Structure 1
Amino acid sequence: MNATASDEPNGHAELWLIRHGETPWSLSRQHTGRTDVPLTERGREQARMLAPILAQEHFDRVLTSPMSRAIETCRLAGLGDHAEEEPELREWDYGIYEGRTTDEIRESAPGWSVWDSPMPEGESIGEIEARARNLVQRLAALPGRTALFSHAHFLRVFAGCWIGDSAALGAHLLLDTATVSILGFERENRAIRQWNVRHPDVA
């Protein structure tokens, strides 16, 4: 893994996005929103591999989703002692599609996609975009480096809102388990500095 902080933040915010380690449902590609699925043993090992990378950096604040898979990843990665729970970092609420794979959903809803299809009893793309944009505005105003432990779809939405105020941009940003991505600034423009960096020993 070659995740590197900016040499000179220039007073701007720098956000390190860390997706939690593997869970049984991430392995089977089931949508995991409000269900508190724990890490697998492989997921715990993935999280431990993040520790020496993150230990090289100073973080002014560490925020984590309230879900145990994110909290445990944060702890095993060595930042648990400094973490605060941030409710806005929770994963997308998939409503009736919770626990189902996209292929299973498409059996009854052909062509369904999380990015442009209805989410009955869950969170619409407009609602998650509003949640992410609010958090972007809050964190962009805080100078220094922040670590965010969260989930695949929310972090993709968050990054889309960071670079273009659009949740839909997240459809183009793949994100694996236990990866580090870095958002920052290029002069006055919000930018992606690194994306989906994983430890070389993680298959």
Structure 2
Amino acid sequence: MTDLWVVRHGQTEWSANGRHTSVTDLPLTGHGEEQALALCGHLRPDDFGLVLSSPRRRARHTAELAGFTGAHEPVLDDDLAEWAYGDYEGRTSDDIQQDVPGWTIWTHPVPNGESADQVTERLDRVVARVRDSGVERAICFGHGHALRALAMRWLGFDLRLGLHFPLDTSTISVLGQEKGEPALERWNARV
């Protein structure tokens, strides 16, 4: 079984203040660039037989600053884009909860955004792509909610459990196996 490393992009202005960011294509902040540069040396591009990234520039730029350039440049995969927040784009959870008490992306609908079933479907395609790749190790650069959802699908869990797996900017997580079964080897590790 292929081990899948997942890397959340470095900090953006909106991730720093908790605003939901899917289709808004924000750049990394100066701090976010420093975070991404710090990944260089902790991630060796030659160690990965498959390198994928969300098409959003914050994920692509994180990969670039981490040393994934040239022959190791990621293949862009729309299935790794962040959960589409629809009407909640740019809003914080606290703000949304003023209108919808108890709202979370994991438990409530997203008006004009993606449903949990839609996210499950596309991230199941990522899981299949990685598992069918035949490589020893793959890596994905992406976003907080989408990567948490990807981990849930890797493990065969319902997306709602993603609530219990916080994922900070510019962290490394490893999805692998234990005795032939999908397993979480490392989560939310800072460099």
Q: Does the CA contact (< 8 Å) of 1:60 and 1:146 recur in 2? A: yes
- Whether 2:76 is the aligned partner of 1:94: answer no
What amino acid does structure 1 have at the position aligned with 2:187?
W
Most deviating of 54-63 and 115-124:
54-63
Match for residue 168 of structure 1? 160
Contact persistence 1:71–1:80 (CA under 8 A): no
Could you tell me how far 1:119 is from its partner in structure 2?
Answer: 0.6
CA deviation string 1:29-79 (max 9, x = no partner): 000011101100000000000001012861112111000000000000001
* Within-5 A mapping of 1:32-181: 32-55=21-44, 58-81=47-70, 82=72, 83-143=74-134, 144-181=136-173
Q: Identify unmatched segments of 5+ residues in structure 1.
A: 1-11
Aligned 8 A contact 2:45 2:67 in 1: no
The structure 1 segments of at least 4 consecutive aligned residues displaced by more than 3 Å after TM superposition are none
Helix, strand or coil: the match of 1:52? Answer: coil
Contact in 2 for aligned 1:23/1:43 (Cα 8 Å) = yes
Deviation at 1:98, TM superposition (A): 0.2
What's the RMSD between the two structures over aligned residues? 1.2
Q: Structure 2: state its 5+ residue gaps.
A: none
Task: Give 3-state SS (helix, strand or coil) of 2:41's partner.
Answer: helix
State the identity as a percent. Answer: 43
Deviation (angstroms), 1:180: 0.3
Report the Cα distance in structure 1 between the residues aligned to 2:111 and 2:68, rounded to whole angstroms.
Answer: 36
